[in-house]
A and B are shown apart, each in its own frame.
Chain A
């Protein structure tokens, strides 16, 4: 029997006569309990994997023989009821449009298709697959893996018509499974390498998420290959998977649209979405900017970045760090300032994985702008920190306040100190007794260091942690200030 015999002339699938089980999406989610199972295959207590390999159509030595099924090891009928066996499922596919890049997408469908088979439960993926076949299915005639393989191949060809030829190799012999598993893991690793290399410029769509909107109503969470969701839980691939299953669900497609500025991460599609999601409150978002039109911050973010004006650098503090940052504030206080779905210049919530992004706040100097982070966070992302700066970023072991941070940065010759030099051309001194716009000790300028160039921060938007001080003296030395508009109000 050839696989294409299963299709009627009009393309409809002719299945009920061919298989000893029913095939329907309605069996998805069907659980085969231990009491009802004939055998368990692979799973947490055994071994196995599933793998799809693309074979070039011109392959001459070992071409794909369409519809062929090979079994290495015992068949279902030779297995003992109630027992557990290893299982590997390898599909070789070929076709004009079949490229290695689609292997993982095709492989993922094995889970769907096998769950369409009544009496077959398929869980998980790759080398974590876990299957059970029910007693009832075996009693109805499911006595060979060939039925499962043929039904699966038929579904592959009918649902993914770019597959022109397909063959299946199933392995139930432990020694063979273990041998092939090594190769499979190499394939998975190589794939992961490729997916990690996916960037904003390689895709046409990003994903948005509104899970946080119940408490951060204007939050606009944008998930790109270079930017994980603020909560850290959802990456671009998760967004893609969820949006495909339920396009109306909490994760949805954002058309990237025109690229306004690739470096700072400004895209027309994101701006449009920002406008609608925030009810008009925000109309620009730069995905990789800290100071200008930054991403909104929900409240779920794992890490909050905070500007330290005294050293013109950015510090980061995460939820698990219970102490204070050099500015004297703990995570909870700064998170409270930042959260709620607002664009808060001077603070930015991110997911831990954003530190691993090659575009990490690149509009504002990336890692060379980072001056402080808790040690355990720094260790966690150490592989992504450029070697030349790694030792120059302070942790709580190096600096506990602004003074010690300043000293550390000087001592280590942190690149931020070069910015200080540039800004030291002019000198200005401002003394203020007003406590309206600037109201925190963390904003009081020390004798050292420089104020950032004014175009970079927007004082009217800059939110500063509140404290109960009665007046603040601000001394700015060696500073250039250009101001578009300055409003000083009397306290009412």
Chain B
């Protein structure tokens, strides 16, 4: 059975950094991982150190613009599947699929319906699927991924951040997607706000599964745009993410 983990949170909270370090942990443990960047503001390839040329969004547009030029009896699902496989980045130990740009005007019902089936079959090839997804969770409302085992909401070290986490948890209840557990990870935490955050989480009835410390090395790399995948073992953030992964039973 493939385990599906989704990491979400507002822009700037560091959810992509956390996702990257989780992928690193999982591949080091010899899991075959499918990483999905489902945030239209695509950052995951950069933090992983992958060079992505095309996205699922591009294929979707291709299918919309080309479909009338295709032979009438050609199997469109089969074309779409092949194109999805073409845009998968095959990295050592993991594959990366970037969803890319959001839908334009026009009707995406049919192509999304085909994509659902393709994703379902693709997901089964992996031990773990990990999604980096925007706070709006659109890909879930479109049911491209319909079951999530663990949803990790990343927040910054603020009260507002935790309130966002609360909202996302409530949003999950409205989705058709089946979500097993919702956890919160507070990122960029320092010694002065750690205890306060823990109390707040209890107040808001959120399961805080980790507090990732501010990490100078990550901040520096973010500034120049170098990958985070190869952070040194000594990184405090890396060690806390590894501990979170263990707590999640990964």
Q: Which positions in A face B, CB cutoff 8 Å?
A: 28-31, 33-35, 44, 104, 108, 111, 123-126, 128, 130, 188, 191-192, 195-196, 198, 211-212, 229, 231-238, 241-242, 250, 300-302, 319-320, 352-353, 356
Contacts and interface: CB of A to CB of B under 8 A. Distances in A.
Contacts of B109: 211-212, 231, 233, 300
Nearest to A124: B82
Interface stretch (B42-50, B117-125, B190-198, B205-213): B117-125
A-B pairs, 8 with minimum CB distance: A300-B107, A29-B121, A233-B110, A231-B107, A124-B82, A237-B73, A34-B90, A211-B109
Nearest to A123: B82
A47 to B, nearest CB: 15
Contact of B110 (A192, A198, A211, A319): A211
A22 B32 CA distance: 23
B71 interface: yes
A427 B76 CA distance: 55
21 contacts: A29-B122, A31-B85, A33-B32, A35-B92, A44-B86, A104-B73, A111-B78, A128-B79, A188-B71, A192-B71, A211-B113, A212-B107, A231-B110, A237-B72, A237-B74, A238-B110, A242-B77, A300-B107, A300-B109, A352-B68, A353-B68
Nearest to B120: A29
Contacts of A231: 107, 109-110
Interface in B108-141: 109-111, 113, 121-122, 124-125
Contacts of A234: 110
A305 to B, nearest CB: 17
A192 B72 CA distance: 7
B73 A233 contact: no
A233 B107 contact: yes
B85 A123 contact: yes
Given A211-B109, A211-B113, A319-B105, A128 B82 contact: yes
B106 interface: yes
B68 A232 contact: yes
B136 to A, nearest CB: 19
Contacts of A198: 72
B110 A130 contact: no
A108 B125 CA distance: 24
Given A29-B122, A31-B85, A232-B67, 16 more contacts: A28-B121, A29-B125, A30-B125, A33-B32, A35-B92, A44-B86, A123-B81, A125-B78, A128-B82, A191-B73, A192-B73, A231-B110, A233-B107, A237-B73, A241-B75, A352-B68
Most B CB within 10 A of own CB, among A34, A128, A195, A238? A238
B115 to A, nearest CB: 12
A130 B78 contact: no
Contacts of B74: 125-126, 237
A380 to B, nearest CB: 8
Most B CB within 10 A of own CB, among A124, A233, A234? A233
Contacts of A28: 121
B95 interface: yes
A353 B71 CA distance: 13
A253 to B, nearest CB: 17
